[in-house]
């Protein structure tokens, strides 16, 4: 389990919602997709992405905490089948926001699993990711048919409206946090071109 300030951010008891983040975020992505994952956590999202993008895929993971990266390599590599050391993966220690909006090859998908949603932030500075300017940076980082997907503890109509105002076609998918669980999270998706 990884917690911050007494709030559980993730647990190894289940990763159905991380799998769903990948499934919905990469729906329609080309084979060999280029993906940016914000937040390494226990490596479940990264593992799901690697299983989906195939041998030609490339994945950049942004993680703020050197300790989380170290844990993935030394303490629990078995949870993600050693995903951080896959040759298709580049790990960047730092804020995912610094990788957005840069010149370079666009991403087919940006998957954010850094907070418990646009309002349940693990760090106050993350508010910039979900702002209108942050969404513009994401949009500039995406390929023409690319998608932003993020994990949220619940629905967020205000954020969905912001996504739409910034030119994204919005989807909200209710997902289980654990197999056979009826409660859960929401994967919010904004697709370019909509």
CATH code (residue 110) = 3.40.50.150
Q: Which of 51-65, 109-123, 175-189 has the highest mean pLDDT?
A: 51-65
pLDDT at 58 (0 to 100): 98
Q: Round to whole Å and give the CA distance between 192 and 147.
A: 6
The reply to whether 41 falls in a domain is yes
3-state DSSP call for residue 96? helix
User: The pTM is what?
Assistant: 0.88
The reply to whether 8 falls in a domain is no
- Within 66-194, residue ranges assigned H as helices are 66-74, 127-130, 132-141, 157-165
Q: How many CA atoms lie within 13 A of 21 on its CB side?
A: 33
pLDDT at 177 (0 to 100): 63
Supply the range of the domain harboring residue 126.
Answer: 13-191
The reply to whether 19 falls in a domain is yes
CA distances from 2 to 7, 37, 123 (A): 9, 18, 14
First to last CA, the chain: 37
Query: Between residues 83 and 119, which one has the greater pLDDT?
Result: 83
Instruction: Give the pLDDT confidence of 24-80 residue by residue, as tens digits.
Output: 999 999 989 999 999 998 999 999 999 999 999 999 999 999 999 999 999 888 888
The reply to whether 4 falls in a domain is no
In the chain, count H helices and then E strands.
6, 9
The reply to whether 24 falls in a domain is yes
pLDDT at 17 (0 to 100): 76
Query: Band of the pLDDT at 5, cuts 50, 70, 90?
Result: low
The reply to whether 105 falls in a domain is yes
Total structural domains in the chain?
1
The answer to whether residue 2 scores a pLDDT higher than 70 is no
Query: Band of the pLDDT at 118, cuts 50, 70, 90?
Result: confident
pLDDT at 4 (0 to 100): 47
* Positive/negative CA dihedral, 18, 19, 20, 25: positive
Contact yes or no for 112/76 (Cβ under 8 A):
no
The reply to whether 2 falls in a domain is no
pLDDT at 46 (0 to 100): 96
Which residues have a Cβ under 8 Å from the Cβ of 12 and sit 6 or more positions away? 1, 42, 76, 79
Q: What average pLDDT score do residues 139-147 get?
A: 96
The reply to whether 5 falls in a domain is no
**Residue of 110, 119, 108 whose CA lies nearest to 138:** 110
Burial class for 82, CB neighbours closer than 10 Å (0-12, 13-18, 19+): middle
């Amino acid at each position: 389990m990884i917690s911050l300030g007494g709030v559980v951010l993730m647990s190894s008891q289940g990763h159905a919602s991380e799998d769903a983040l990948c499934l919905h975020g990469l729906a329609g992505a080309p084979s060999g997709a280029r993906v940016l994952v914000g937040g390494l956590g226990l490596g479940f999202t990264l593992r799901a992405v690697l299983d989906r993008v195939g041998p030609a895929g490339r994945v950049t993971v942004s993680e703020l905490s050197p300790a989380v990266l170290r844990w993935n390599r030394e303490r629990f590599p078995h949870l993600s089948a050693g995903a951080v050391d896959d040759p298709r993966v580049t790990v960047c220690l730092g804020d995912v926001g610094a990788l957005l909006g840069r010149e370079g090859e666009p991403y087919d998908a940006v998957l954010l699993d850094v907070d418990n949603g646009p309002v349940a932030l693990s760090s106050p500075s993350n508010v910039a990711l979900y702002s209108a300017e942050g969404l513009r940076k994401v949009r500039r980082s995406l390929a023409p048919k690319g998608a932003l997907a993020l994990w949220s503890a619940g629905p967020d109509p205000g954020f969905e409206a912001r996504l739409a105002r910034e030119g994204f076609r919005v989807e909200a998918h209710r997902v289980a946090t654990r197999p056979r669980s009826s409660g859960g999270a929401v994967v919010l998706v904004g697709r370019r071109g909509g």
